[in-house]
Amino acid sequence: MVSWTRRDLSRKASQIGETLPYELAKYTTIIVERLKSNWLRIDDGIAQQFQIEVFAFMLHLFDRRSFEVFGPEGRDVFQNELISVMRPVVAQVLCSGSSRHASFDWVMDTYNERQLEYGEFKKELPEKGEGLKGTLWWEFSKKMAFGLIHEQKSSEDFAKYFTQLNTLIMGENSDLWRIYLDTIDVLTAQ
């Protein structure tokens, strides 16, 4: 394992923390607008919660990866620094504006709750030939579907929107997947 200095970890956290919230806000806005364009009723509160959930999910993924790359002590330094760097950016992106009711504490409370939930799923993605059920990305996608489309009355509508949302979140050309991979590249570069 490579030895990482506190300065290295701080630099990486700054690189990621200063841009990631903007990327995630842009991504989640696009998804909500795509779903709304298909006559799905999503109010500002649900859209904001979706953004917060995506943010918490990505932080969880980086937590996993930083543990693998930096080891337990490096992970602690990196995650603490990442959250510190992200605080003002997240406050600006997710917690401001006339329709926004969140606070950074709400964002972090959601993240801490999801850490416990997502920690139960050891597999992020299935092996070739396996189904998605029971993987971290599947559970996240399912949670997002229930959160975004819970008001849809028919099971046909729910299935249709869940399939569409699942493709947007986990599809081969998913912006979330691209954001994740690009950020992991920064995280693991020496």
Task: Summarize pLDDT for 60-90 with one digit per residue, the tens.
Answer: 988 898 888 888 998 999 999 988 888 887 7
pLDDT tens digits along 137-153: 888 877 777 666 555 55
pLDDT per residue as tens digits for the range 14-65: 888 888 888 877 887 777 777 677 656 667 777 777 778 888 888 898 889 8
pLDDT for the residue 154: 55
In the prediction, which pLDDT does 116 show? 93
Does the pLDDT of residue 100 top 50, yes or no?
A: no
Contacts of 102 (CB under 8 A, 6+ apart): 48, 52, 94, 95
Is the whole model's pTM more than 0.85, yes or no? no
Q: What is the mean pLDDT of the chain?
A: 76
Which residues are within 8 A (CB) of 71 and not within 5 positions of it... i.e. 6 or more apart?
A: 1
Judging by beta carbons within 10 Å of its beta carbon (0-12, 13-18, 19+), is residue 124 exposed, middle or buried? middle
State the pLDDT confidence band at 118, using cuts at 50, 70 and 90: very high
